[in-house]
Amino acid sequence: MVPHLVTALTGPINELEQRILDSMPAIERWFRLEWMEHTPPFYSSADIRNAGFKLAPVDTNLYPRGWNNLTEDMLPLAVQAAQAAIEKICPEARNLLVIPENHSKNTFYLANVARLVRIFHMAGLNVRVGSIDPAIKSPKKIELPHGESVCLEPVVRSRRRLGLKHFDPCTILLNNDLSAGTPGILEDLHEQYLLPPLHAGWSVRRKSNHLHSYEEVSKRFGKLLGIDPWLINPMHARAGGVDLAEGKGLDVLTSHVDALLTKVRRKYKEYGINEKPFVVVKADNGADPMGVMTVRDVKDLEAFGRRSRGKAPASPGQETPQGPTDLIVQEGVLTNERVNNGVAEPVVYMMDRYVVGGFYRVHAERSPDENLNMPGASFVPLAFSESAHLPQPGAKPGASAPNRFYMYGVIGRLAMVAASYEMEATNPDAETYE
């Protein structure tokens, strides 16, 4: 099913698409050279927004949890990428241990775990699922809605290794973003590969580091294509030590929001865009429960501050952070895409350095300038029904689904390059050369 793109055949996005298609050999060479010097994240996903005049990633996840949203047609791509990734890290790998989140009752999440098990099993590994949830004391088989099942087994920790009873893996795949902190059981594993590394989890990771890395990547890529990097980069600022409940630091947040709205207005004027600019405010630490707040005017912040002091959540799914927290102010990117009349945004899934598929996140209750990653969202596979299709030369910009999806894949991979820079910069074990 090809979703309805409101942006099709109109507007500057087609100039960007044309530029990307015309530059394909240069782009692929650029990525090849990047991966010669940097290690891609083991797996990742990027939420992308297509405003019709700009196309940018708004969130990058290093523990993607929606593998069950990929269609069967996409599986061969994921299996090949899994083989390439494992071969690079541990060519003699035989056993893989998957460590999931401690959501043993969430069958939608466990369907994602079952899909990961299947991908790596087809890639030629013995795969088992080890839970670090203290409540799992013996193997627990959970039946899933579509006839699949997952068996959660309690992990066993020796002095230097992690495994299961009678199962010793050489590689451990985390599908747990460590938002509750790094459990000691995962530390000091010097004999096994732990993927992604612990500093990719939210106990260490900060969105500001990623956005800073992505800004650098977008400038270099913009230079390669001869485009304004703003067309692929959401501007951002960081406001430190804001305590919304106490009303402290609101002046700092307000000045950042005001400055960023002014910058966006200037860009809209430069490109003749008649939309109302907005920014999103979210916690720098992805583990924070505050959610995402859309701010269209500085006055919105005053109302939000008052609401926070009254302890009422700003909107469903949001909580007020307790105590001072670091916030990100990010340029809001509209989404002009619709699936079945619901507002939609593409999510691109990657493993190693390859795009393996994706889906649309669709939310009928939200507007084009709001966060769609909320309860009530549904998922529609990206029209990679033509998944193995390469871009079609000569097709009019905006008219060809494979071309549009190639463009999403390029933006997703730019976010992945940024994540590799970010991981290098925050690696606690990095060797330093004076």
CA 398/CA 14 separation, integer angstroms: 6
Is 60 exceeded by the pLDDT of residue 432? no
**Can you spell out the DSSP letters for 339-357?**
ETTEEEEEEEEEETTEEEE
Residue 277 makes CB contacts below 8 A (sequence gap 6+) with 261, 264, 265, 268, 296, 331, 332
Query: What number is the average pLDDT over the span 177-189?
Result: 91
3-state class percentages of the chain: helix first, strand second, coil last, to nearest 5: 35, 25, 40
One-letter amino acid at 75 equals L
CA 56/CA 50 separation, integer angstroms: 7
- The phi-psi region of residue 138 (left if phi > 0; otherwise alpha if psi is between -120 and 50; otherwise beta) is beta
pLDDT of amino acid 402 = 65
Pick from 243-247, 366-370, 416-420: least confident: 243-247
pLDDT of amino acid 387 = 43
Query: What number is the average pLDDT over the span 251-266?
Result: 95
pLDDT of amino acid 73 = 82
pLDDT of amino acid 312 = 44
Query: What number is the average pLDDT over the span 113-128?
Result: 96
Sign of CA dihedral 418, 42, 428, 31: negative
The predicted-structure confidence for 189-205, as pLDDT tens digits, reads as follows 888 999 999 999 998 99
pLDDT of amino acid 380 = 85
pLDDT of amino acid 90 = 83
Average pLDDT, the chain: 87
CA–CA–CA angle 161, 166, 171 (5° rounding) = 40
Q: What does DSSP assign to residue 93?
A: -
The tokens for 86 are 């494992």
- The phi-psi region of residue 37 (left if phi > 0; otherwise alpha if psi is between -120 and 50; otherwise beta) is alpha
Judged on CB neighbours under 10 Å (0-12, 13-18, 19+), 134 is exposed
CA distances, 125 to each of 75, 95, 214 (Å): 16, 6, 34
Query: What number is the average pLDDT over the span 200-225?
Result: 96
**Can you spell out the DSSP letters for 159-225?**
SS-EEBTTB--SEEEEE---TT---GGGS---SSEEES-GGGSTTT--HHHHHHHHHHHHHHHHHHH
CA 68/CA 146 separation, integer angstroms: 11
Pick from 167-171, 261-265, 331-335, 378-382: least confident: 378-382
In 3D, which of 200, 272, 264, 217 has the Cα closest to residue 237?
Answer: 264
Q: What is the length of the chain?
A: 434
The predicted-structure confidence for 20-60, as pLDDT tens digits, reads as follows 888 999 999 999 999 999 999 999 999 999 998 899 999 99
In 3D, which of 198, 177, 206 has the Cα closest to residue 283?
Answer: 206
Residue 212 makes CB contacts below 8 A (sequence gap 6+) with 422
pLDDT of amino acid 209 = 96
**Can you spell out the DSSP letters for 119-171?**
HHHHTT-EEEEEE--TT--S-EEEE-TTS-EEEEEE-EE-SS-EEBTTB--SE
In a 13 Å sphere around the CA of 247, the CA atoms on its Cβ side amount to: 7
Query: What number is the average pLDDT over the span 67-92?
Result: 90
Distance of alpha carbon 64 from its chain centroid, rounded?
7
Query: What number is the average pLDDT over the span 58-74?
Result: 92
With cut-offs at 50, 70 and 90, classify the pLDDT of residue 339: confident
CA 63/CA 45 separation, integer angstroms: 8
Paired with 354 in beta bridges are 351
**Can you spell out the DSSP letters for 59-75?**
EEESS---GGGS-GGGH
In 3D, which of 238, 218, 237, 239 has the Cα closest to residue 229?
Answer: 218
pLDDT > 90 fraction of the chain, expressed in percent and rounded: 60
pLDDT of amino acid 417 = 98
Pick from 150-154, 207-211, 293-297: least confident: 293-297
The predicted-structure confidence for 267-322, as pLDDT tens digits, reads as follows 999 999 999 999 999 999 876 666 788 999 988 887 766 666 555 444 444 455 56
The tokens for 388 are 């193995």
Residue 201 · residue 25 · CB < 8 Å: no
CA distances, 213 to each of 34, 216, 414, 423 (Å): 14, 5, 10, 10
With cut-offs at 50, 70 and 90, classify the pLDDT of residue 333: very high
